[in-house]
Structure 1
Amino acid sequence: MRVGLILIVLLSMSYAHATVYKWIDENGKVHFSDEPVKNAEVVEFKKNTQNNIKLPEIIEPPIEDTPDAIDINNTKYELNIVSPSEEETIRSNEGNITIIADISPQLFSPHKLVLYMDGEKQGASQSSNLFKLKGIDRGEHTFTIKAVTKNGKQLASSKPRKVFLHRTSLNQPKILRPQPRNNN
């Protein structure tokens, strides 16, 4: 078994360093191949024709810019609700509201954002600054977003944002649409 494996490795190494042949056909077209052809000549590669790739030198950032050097649990974030605007009226019969926040500096990975509507936490904490709410009751709502650590310590909070959700009243009479007759 070992002898067979050694032979396979030696044969594959010989193919890796195969000879290259060059010849010109009757139409004057130049061809290259790893198999000899009549009137083919062996191509000798010079050192400057070989591929040499030099990778750029890796420059490490200064230590003070890395999160390990910063006490990330005492980071001072600036957090604002960008959309919807203050006292904006949103019209959605499904009760859908999208809240977008702006946070500076960028949120470190162990930190999360939490959305509060009328003082109640909405959904799970998340890394994204985009919150999509569905099935919200109509009326006035106040939203706040907080940046928290994984232990729940509050790092920052946005100013409260008042928003009005307009939904069609459930008490309105339904509009009856005529249905086509079935002539059977």
Structure 2
Amino acid sequence: MRTILMIALLILSTNCLATVYRWVDENGKVHYSDEPKANAEVIEINEETQNSIAIKTPPKATIAPKEDTQISYKISIVSPQEEATIRDNNGEFTVNVSVSPQLPRGVKMILLVDGVAALEPQTSPIFKLTGIYRGEHNLVVNVVTQNGKVLASSSPRKIFLHQASVFSPANKARQ
């Protein structure tokens, strides 16, 4: 069966090498065909007119490894200001961040409060925190890839969160 198929393919492939004819009609238009016409001339097909592709591989000595061009991100905390005192009894405040250049897809920012991630990584430069306890806190924002690699970090920002105490003298006078 395979032998018959191979013979049939060889016979069909010889028909592909047909003669090409060229002629000019009464309007001056040039035509090409594989069928002879009146006043048609045979065109010789040279090897240079056939399409061929040659794959060349450069020598291994000239192949240089691609340099990893890593983008340098600049990230900074815009607000709250350094050593700012935030007064909120619920421990809620917003951290605004500036980053340049714009983050590509898959790269996010994560806010660390006292070295611990306060929220999930996000692309928004606005972090809304809740439930932060009173006292001194250090804020840092990192630019991270999906696999957790840190690309850039902001300078640490020290803030103070003030909450009114239930034990304050003003509250004792009301009782």
Q: What's the TM-score, normalizing by structure 2?
A: 0.57
> Which of 97, 103, 113 lines up with 2:109 in the alignment?
113
- For residues 172 and 97 of structure 2, the distance between their equivalents in structure 1, rounded to whole angstroms, comes to 38
Alpha-carbon deviation of 1:171?
A: 2.2
Residue 159 (structure 2) aligns with: 163
Partner Cα separation in structure 1 for residue 113 and residue 150 of structure 2: 17
Deviation of 1:116 (Å): 0.2
What is the distance in 1 between the residues matched to 2:75 and 2:81? 15
Q: Which amino acid counterpart does residue 125 of structure 1 have in structure 2?
A: P
Structure 2 regions of 5+ residues with no counterpart?
Answer: 1-67
Structure 1 residue aligned with 2:85, among 89, 92, 97? 89
Q: Does 1:132 align with 2:114?
A: no
Alpha-carbon deviations, 1:12-33, whole Å to 9, x = none? xxxxxxxxxxxxxxxxxxxxxx
Per-residue deviation, 1:170 = 3.0
The 1-side partners of 2:152 and 2:121 are apart by: 14
The alpha carbon displacement at 1:174 in A equals: 5.9
Structure 2 counterparts to residues 70-81 of structure 1, below 5 A: 74-81=70-77
Question: Take 1:133 and 1:175, find their aligned partners in 2: how far apart are those partners?
Answer: 32
Percent identical among aligned pairs is 47
* Rg larger in structure: 2
RMSD, aligned CA: 1.8
Distance in 1, matches of 2:131 and 2:106, equals: 30
* Cα distance between partner residues in 1 of 2:167 and 2:114: 25
The aligned runs of 1:137-156 (5 Å cut-off) are: 137-156=133-152
Q: Deviations over 1:19-72 (max 9, x none)?
A: xxxxxxxxxxxxxxxxxxxxxxxxxxxxxxxxxxxxxxxxxxxxxxxxxxxx68
For 1:151, give the aligned amino acid.
Answer: N
Paired residues for 1:5-84 under 5 Å:
74-84=70-80
Q: In structure 1, give the amino acid aligned to 2:94.
A: T
- The count of corresponding residues between Structure 1 and Structure 2 is 106
TM normalised by structure 1 equals 0.54
Gaps of 5+ in 1: 1-70, 178-184
